[in-house]
Structure 1
Amino acid sequence: MAKKVLLLAGDYTEDYETMVPFQTLQVLGYQVDAVCPEKKAGDIIRTAIHDFEGDQTYSEKRGHNFALTANFDTVNTSEYEGLFITGGRSPEYLRLNARVIEIVQEFFAANKPVAAICHGPQLLAAANVLKGKKATAYPAVGPDITMAGGEYVAVDADKAVVDGNLVTSPAWPGDSAILIEFAKLMGAKIEI
């Protein structure tokens, strides 16, 4: 039986920060259960494509429909090797869901690998799991990390920051970096 990864996303999650991890983790042999509160396997979430076009912040365009692969209501974190939190706009409202917060806390309490990209660390801040941790995020989320007791680390968008069981990256250009480090945390032998 394949090891399982829980991928937490919602409507207007960033397209590349959802599709790329979902597919890459499957290529590495993991069963990826993509879930969203109030939705079940087969339901669709809409994605958004964020781009960096020289403006003060990213631009946003409608992305693809992404089919969820598992039911949120039946998530049992003890069945999973790791948690991947996608970015985009979904973390800002997913953090209002009490079960989402519990899920994040359960992964940290079990010291399992957790990856969060872009705005994903908003869920980590809301779950109060960042105290004493180094983390990166989209720069606008940096204050959330700091206010939650973490240390915001500014890195290029194609990099990742690892601190214990946590790996973070600022945006989709860091998909490769965050996935390499996340896979290593889950025991994969990755050579570059």
Structure 2
Amino acid sequence: MAAKKLLMIVGDFGEDYEIMVPFQALQMVGHTVHAVCPGKKDGDSVKTAIHDFEGDQTYSEKPGHNFTLNATFEEINPEDYDGLVLSGGRAPEYLRREEGVIEMITHFVEADKPIAALCHGLQLLSAADAVRGKTLTAYPACGPEMEAAGADYRDVAATEVVVDGNLVTSPAWPGHPKWLAAFLEVLGTKISH
């Protein structure tokens, strides 16, 4: 397996697990992962939030870790990357309005490169008009937005994954095992036992 170069677009109050876990797990298997945020540079950090399901009508939110970026958004050329990772939390709702984010995402979509997105990360793909005609999942509260944007939205358990070509999606961080495994398969990564 040739190691891949992957890009993560993150922001303040992105979901802690959904940033930390894929960032570390994808590196663990040998891939290079660059995490960037508009307006921030290599060495800066974003604040994350921990979202949990505690019996309320929606998730609760608590302070997470500070996550250190390892690349500078303004210096990124998406052509240099083999795949894209979009995590959830609150960051996607404002990242989709940041200059350059949609253009970056559009490169991955138009080049048909592998994209792993989960939870509210699908809001970034919706804003890039990249979900029309795609079978996918997202955090359930984003389902109506996905349908309005022309996606074939699937309401699946939080532990599940939906794959449509090079697009790998899951509703939330409980889906990490299947979501990451499916993304590695799409990337062509082979894990030997």
- TM-score using structure 1 length: 0.97
Gaps of 5+ in 2: none
1:128-139 equivalent positions in 2, closer than 5 A:
128-139=129-140
Structure 1 contact 184–190 (Cα < 8 Å) conserved: no
Could you list the runs of 4 or more consecutive aligned residues of structure 1 that deviate by over 6 angstroms after TM superposition? none
2:78 maps to what in 1?
77
2:48 maps to what in 1?
47
Distance 1:183 1:109 in 2: 20
1:144 maps to what in 2?
145
Cα distance, 1:175 vs. partner?
1.1
Cα distance, 1:98 vs. partner?
3.3
Distance 2:192 2:107 in 1: 30
Cα distance, 1:143 vs. partner?
1.1
Say which SS state the counterpart of residue 65 (structure 2) adopts: strand
1:19-59 deviation digits (Å, cap 9, x = unpaired): 00000000010111000000011001000000000110000
Distance 1:98 1:136 in 2: 26
Cα distance, 1:189 vs. partner?
2.1
1:22 maps to what in 2?
23
Cα distance, 1:131 vs. partner?
1.0
Q: Percent identity?
A: 58
Distance 2:4 2:152 in 1: 31
Say which SS state the counterpart of residue 61 (structure 1) adopts: strand
Structure 1 contact 180–190 (Cα < 8 Å) conserved: no
Q: Please, which moves more after superposition, 91-100 or 56-65?
A: 91-100
Gaps of 5+ in 1: none
Say which SS state the counterpart of residue 100 (structure 2) adopts: helix
Cα distance, 1:132 vs. partner?
0.5
1:84-106 deviation digits (Å, cap 9, x = unpaired): 00100000000002311011110
Structure 1 contact 13–48 (Cα < 8 Å) conserved: yes
Say which SS state the counterpart of residue 45 (structure 1) adopts: strand
Say which SS state the counterpart of residue 120 (structure 2) adopts: coil
Cα distance, 1:176 vs. partner?
1.3
Distance 2:92 2:113 in 1: 20
1:3 maps to what in 2?
4
1:38-187 equivalent positions in 2, closer than 5 A:
38-187=39-188
Distance 1:152 1:184 in 2: 22
- TM-score using structure 2 length: 0.96
Distance 2:3 2:172 in 1: 28
Cα distance, 1:121 vs. partner?
0.3
Structure 1 contact 92–123 (Cα < 8 Å) conserved: yes
Distance 1:131 1:16 in 2: 28
Instruction: Say how many residue pairs are matched.
Output: 192
Distance 1:78 1:131 in 2: 23
Distance 1:150 1:165 in 2: 15
Distance 1:151 1:61 in 2: 32
Cα distance, 1:147 vs. partner?
1.1
Cα distance, 1:2 vs. partner?
4.4
